[in-house]
Chains A and B, each alone.
Chain A
Amino acid sequence: MGETLTIRLTVNGEACDRSVEPRLLLSDFLRHELHLTGTHVGCEHGVCGACTVLLNGESVRSCLMFAVQADGAEITTIEGLATPSDGSGIPHPDDADLHPVQAAFREAHGLQCGFCTPGILMTLVPFLEANPDPEEEQIREVLSGHLCRCTGYQNIVKAVRLAAERMRT
């Protein structure tokens, strides 16, 4: 282990303080240091989008930045989307606890193996906040930063529409 730097950041609303090697990628930091394994690592070179998280509210690829670059930042991962409705701190997989985007993906069969899904959702959350009633072309454009090898994207697009509809009402 080489030289380490101390970073302080907020992850899913909780303050977090860690000493890390400068070469550690944010994706590996989230998975191995914080054990937030919902952020998936697919291609590890900025193509597949599976590792997408929110950095200060904007979707970024966590495999293309060092954890030390996130010092002082606010990170949201897939684990931060659902809201636990009871005191257990653990969200239940029902629609009351799920974020509308998560619920819509489940309902519209927007996933099969689910590997790409966390990243897709982390891109869709800010997208749908900025574009509450997106055209199909806009949906397909924003999805272009994600590779899904199972669904053929049709149900993903349907799920995005359903989520948008739910979030508007």
Chain B
Amino acid sequence: MTVFLPRDLDEALELRDRHPGATAVAGGTDLCVLWPERVAARRDEWLDLSGVAELRGHEWTDGALILGAGTTYWDVIRDRRAGEELPLLVEAARQVGAVQIQTRGTWGGNIVNASPAADGVPVLMAYDAVLELRSRSETVELPLADFYLGYKEMRLAPDQLLTRIHVPRRTYDLQWFEKVGSRSAQAITKVGVAVTRRDGEWRVVANSVAPTVRRCRSLESLLAEGLPVSGPADLMGALESDVTPIDDIRSTAEYRLEVLARLLYWRLRDVCPSIT
């Protein structure tokens, strides 16, 4: 097994280009789980990004919070301004694993690991985050909502690295994140949802209910149009066209759909005149 240890971004991009099959690793909080089995599976080349200083840290500009892809959950939890301006980031970060995971796990790693259960992704998507993808030859931007193609499939070329995440700084009149797991800590999400509303425009993003974290566009339209809803069942049609939950070791498709509908109904009833 080989681990490449680039010390700066240029070196990382060069290695990414020369070793397209290498698995990029940052915090390793998912990749290193069941490590002996992965060694046995002979995933031979690893590209460790945890030593690349340019990927660490975050900054506030006039228009956006810019997260380096290697910014940890803990970096954001500790930033008081994040809790005030973009509270869903902090709420989601605090529900990832426990403190020892939050200090190592990164926002970029959460996105590129592409788990349907990723907790950092729904909140970023609900905030209309934009990804900066870089190769040796160019830097491109892509909305996070357009990044995933299918289960663990994404618009990331073999020579590209996710370098930064731009989170627009906006004022919302509703921001909400809910995670349902077997227990409060150290539990992988059975069903989760992040919702924002701004000038009547909705974002509803669900995790663990589709092959990817999924923006629920039918439900967003239903809410924006103000169609009458008088119970969780009235959300079911839209949700069924948005998400495709499955039965697995953590939960069932039926439970996930039902809980998602109920969470949305009971929370949004307080803030939407069309929901009674």
Write the residues of chain A forming the contact surface with B, with a CB cutoff of 8 angstroms: 2-3, 5, 21-23, 25, 44-47, 49, 52, 55, 58-61, 63-66, 68-69, 71-72, 123, 127, 141-142, 144-146
9 more CB-based (< 8 A) A-B contacts, given A68-B48, A127-B99 = A22-B1, A22-B2, A25-B35, A46-B101, A60-B100, A64-B104, A65-B104, A66-B48, A68-B3
Contact residues of B: prevailing secondary structure:
loop
**Which residue of chain B is the closest to A62 with respect to CB atoms?**
B100
Q: Given the interface contacts A25-B35, A45-B35, does A59 sit within 8 Å of B100 by beta carbon?
A: yes
List chain B residues, Cβ under 8 A from A49: 98, 100
Residue pair B1, A23 in contact (C-beta under 8 Å):
yes
Residue B51 CB within 8 A of the other chain: yes
Among B26-34, B113-121, B204-212, the stretch in contact with A: B26-34
| Complex Cα gap A25–B2 (Å) | 14
| Complex Cα gap A24–B3 (Å) | 11
Give the one of A45, A66, A123, A141 with max B CB within 10 A. A66
User: How many residues in B have their beta carbons less than 8 Å from beta carbons of A?
Assistant: 28
List chain B residues, Cβ under 8 A from A144: 98, 184-186
Residue pair A64, B5 in contact (C-beta under 8 Å):
no
5 sample A-B contacts, Cβ–Cβ < 8 Å, listed by A number: A58-B103, A59-B103, A64-B29, A65-B28, A127-B99
Residue pair A72, B98 in contact (C-beta under 8 Å):
no
| Complex Cα gap A21–B51 (Å) | 18
Residue B39 CB within 8 A of the other chain: yes
| Complex Cα gap A3–B35 (Å) | 18
Residue pair A5, B101 in contact (C-beta under 8 Å):
no
Contact of B100 among A22, A23, A44, A52 (CB under 8 A): A52
Contact of B5 among A21, A47, A68, A145 (CB under 8 A): A68
Contact of A63 among B32, B50, B184 (CB under 8 A): B32
The 10 closest A-B pairs by CB, nearest first: A145-B98, A144-B185, A22-B3, A58-B103, A64-B32, A61-B100, A45-B33, A23-B1, A144-B98, A145-B100
**Which residue of chain B is the closest to A64 with respect to CB atoms?**
B32
Residue pair A60, B104 in contact (C-beta under 8 Å):
yes
Q: Given the interface contacts A22-B2, A61-B100, A123-B99, does A145 sit within 8 Å of B32 by beta carbon?
A: no
List chain B residues, Cβ under 8 A from A2: 1
| Complex Cα gap A46–B27 (Å) | 12
Contact of B2 among A3, A64, A72, A145 (CB under 8 A): A3
Q: How far is the CB of B9 from chain A (nearest CB, A)?
A: 17
Q: How far is the CB of B2 from chain A (nearest CB, A)?
A: 6
